[in-house]
Chain A
């Protein structure tokens, strides 16, 4: 048989592939359907949270912060329950990150609050002595891009059947309906904030990036 395989490199290659792929078959396939589904309770991002996610990506937060808690006691003690694959079902793209210059943010919504994020984004070293994180003052002056966020939500709803507008899931509706929801959501955050600049802009109906990113960070649970 080995002699025959030596003379038929194609079938030899097929044989090697089968042997190596067997590991994947036995470890991945049995739980694949289960782990690919959203975990119960996982919801798609609301439009304001999506706008915040865009800020997160734009400012490259994922270069220094991971969003993946590994099943080690040292990690779960600090960051909370380890991550499950189904929790990323509505992340497009997922933001696992590959390096922790700063801490993991997978469940930051459980242990940090709006007012902390506000202090921290203005001047990280004021709340975390010795922090090397740069400050993100521009988030207090730049406006969040709600239109793009709505467009993304609508796209994933139509293309990937993301369950917006279903029972118990975030409501999307038309852009005008969505805008009202975004403003209501933003109001809850702005009320908890102290920055007069952000409050003033919000009174005029404008939502700053800081509001969107706090909405996103608070949603990470």
Chain B
């Protein structure tokens, strides 16, 4: 009988017993009344197909609650609902504003791990349909993030050219440099400009001599001459991903829509950038 020690069980049992006892008593009372009661009282004037109605006064409690509910209904119809200006969109706006405020204060200074987690979440919803849940680009259907942003990918980009981000200077043509020069420029760029470190340090000095090929469009500081061309000083870093998210890209592989429509906040874009960079091997 352990279960009887539980308060809730005990209360439920007492309640059940009380319901049974009250039901039996009440039903018994009315059955007795049906057996012995005589119909007495004054009949109303109307008679519906032989069915009459007694003139019973309304119980006072009923009458009061009835009148109160009529008064409340009139107030609600005429003032309560129309004047409080409720709208579903209004509630939505309040909900979103409250959420955004909370989001901003909660993630004002996120640490690295938080950003990666947030980036992964956004990536799986917004990016994975094209780039795949592992970011491998699903057999060439979209950019392969396991290779994207690396030195060897940079060599590929210099050789093949790049297009589709809608910068005023337009398309970067293929074949600006031959293969060896491209390798050298890439080595110089990742070593000296983006400072992410090169695998071919011996080529850096040769690349420096050829660097002018890039600065013609991307500017001496590689920041894209005030928005005329992409800021390649961010190459291989989160900022480069954010740039693509903002511009969209209609490149050689396919067409990526811009995510600059308010769907992602700045901090979410940065988080996606961090996460995409973390996919690079």
Contacts and interface: CB of A to CB of B under 8 A. Distances in A.
B81 A126 contact: no
B61 to A, nearest CB: 19
Interface stretch (B12-20, B147-155, B253-261): B253-261
B88 interface: yes
A24 to B, nearest CB: 12
A interface SS class? helix
A26 interface: yes
Given A114-B255, A119-B141, A80 B263 contact: yes
Contacts of B95: 73
Interface string B119-134: 0000001100110110
A115 B255 contact: yes
B130 A116 contact: yes
A148 interface: no
B11 to A, nearest CB: 38
Nearest to A72: B92
Interface string B135-146: 000110100000
Contact of B82 (A26, A72, A112, A119): A26
A193 to B, nearest CB: 10
Contact of B92 (A73, A112, A116, A127): A73
Contacts, number: 60
Contacts of B138: 119, 126-127
A93 interface: no
Contacts of B89: 71, 82
Interface string A1-26: 00100110000000000000010001
Nearest to A7: B46
B99 interface: yes
Nearest to B133: A129
Contacts of B99: 73
A69 B132 CA distance: 25
B257 A110 contact: yes
A126 B77 CA distance: 56
Interface of B: 46, 77, 81-82, 88-89, 91-92, 95-96, 99, 125-126, 129-130, 132-133, 138-139, 141, 253-257, 259, 261, 263
Given A114-B254, A116-B141, A126-B139, 20 more contacts: A3-B46, A22-B77, A71-B92, A73-B95, A73-B96, A76-B92, A77-B263, A82-B92, A110-B261, A111-B263, A113-B254, A113-B256, A113-B257, A114-B255, A115-B254, A116-B254, A119-B141, A126-B141, A127-B129, A192-B255
13 contacts: A6-B46, A77-B263, A80-B261, A111-B257, A113-B254, A114-B255, A115-B253, A115-B255, A116-B141, A119-B138, A126-B141, A127-B132, A192-B254
